[in-house]
C-alpha cells in the first residue's frame, strides 16, 4: 500500500511538473512575433482628490506613432519597426532595441537595452495567440501604473 501511494504521489508531481513546463513553452511561443499597440494608458493616484486619474496615452499619440510595431524574435532580439506613416522621413524603418527574456516564472517580460545597461520589466498580464497585455506597476518616474495592449500583426 505504501508503494502504491508513493507511486501515485510521484505520478501526480510529474504530471504537474510537465504541465507547468508545457505552459512555459506556450508563453515563449506566443510572445514571439510582430505586435501592434492597440491601447495604452497611465493610472495615477491623485492624493488631493483621493481618486485615480486615468490618461489614455494611446488616444493622444500621433497617427504616425500608432502604426509602429514591435517584433519579438525567437533569437531573443527585440525590434521596433516604423509603420508606413513616418513621423520623420529620416527615421530608421527598423531599430534593434535590445534583447528580451521571460523571468519570474514567466510572469515578467524583461527588455534589456542594446547596450545592456538599462532594463525594463513588464508584468505579463495576459497572452494568447492574438493579444499581449503588459504593465509597469508602481512606476517611480511617473508615480503611476502603466498598461499596454498589443494585437498580433498579421
Over residues 88-147, the pLDDT tens digits come to 877 778 888 899 999 999 999 999 988 767 899 999 999 999 999 999 988 776 678 999
Q: How confident is the model at residue 23 (pLDDT cuts 50, 70, 90)?
A: low
Question: Position of cell 519579438?
Answer: 72
- Asked if the model's pLDDT at residue 76 lies above 50, the reply is yes
Domain ranges across the chain: 32-152
* CATH (one of 2.30.42.10, 3.40.718.10, 2.40.128.280, 3.40.50.720) for 32-152: 2.40.128.280
d(CA 25, CA 13): 19
- Given this model, what pLDDT does residue 83 score? 85
Burial of 129 (0-12, 13-18, 19+ CB in 10 A): exposed
d(CA 51, CA 14): 47
Q: What percent of the chain has pLDDT over 70?
A: 81
Task: Give the residue-averaged pLDDT of 22-28.
Answer: 62
Query: 17-21, 50-54, 64-68, 71-75: which has the minimum mean pLDDT?
Result: 17-21
Antiparallel, parallel or unpaired: β 108-113 and 94-103: antiparallel
- Given this model, what pLDDT does residue 95 score? 85
- Stated pTM of the model: 0.75
- Given this model, what pLDDT does residue 21 score? 42
- Asked if the model's pLDDT at residue 82 lies above 90, the reply is no
- Asked if the model's pLDDT at residue 13 lies above 70, the reply is no
Average pLDDT, the chain: 81
- Given this model, what pLDDT does residue 105 score? 92
Amino acid at each position: 500500500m505504501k508503494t502504491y501511494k508513493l507511486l501515485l504521489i510521484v505520478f501526480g508531481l510529474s504530471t504537474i511538473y510537465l504541465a507547468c513546463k508545457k505552459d512555459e513553452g506556450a508563453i515563449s511561443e506566443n510572445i514571439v512575433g510582430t505586435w501592434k499597440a492597440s491601447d495604452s494608458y497611465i493610472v495615477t493616484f491623485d492624493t488631493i482628490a483621493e481618486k485615480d486619474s486615468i490618461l489614455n496615452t494611446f488616444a493622444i499619440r500621433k497617427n504616425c506613432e500608432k502604426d509602429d510595431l514591435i517584433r519579438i524574435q525567437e533569437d531573443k532580439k527585440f525590434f521596433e519597426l516604423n509603420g508606413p506613416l513616418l513621423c520623420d522621413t529620416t527615421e530608421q524603418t527598423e531599430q534593434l532595441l535590445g534583447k528580451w527574456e521571460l523571468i519570474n516564472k514567466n510572469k515578467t517580460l524583461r527588455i534589456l537595452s542594446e547596450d545592456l545597461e538599462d532594463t525594463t520589466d513588464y508584468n505579463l498580464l495576459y497572452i494568447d495567440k492574438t493579444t499581449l497585455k503588459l504593465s509597469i506597476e508602481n512606476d517611480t518616474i511617473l508615480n503611476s501604473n502603466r498598461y499596454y495592449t498589443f494585437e498580433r500583426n498579421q
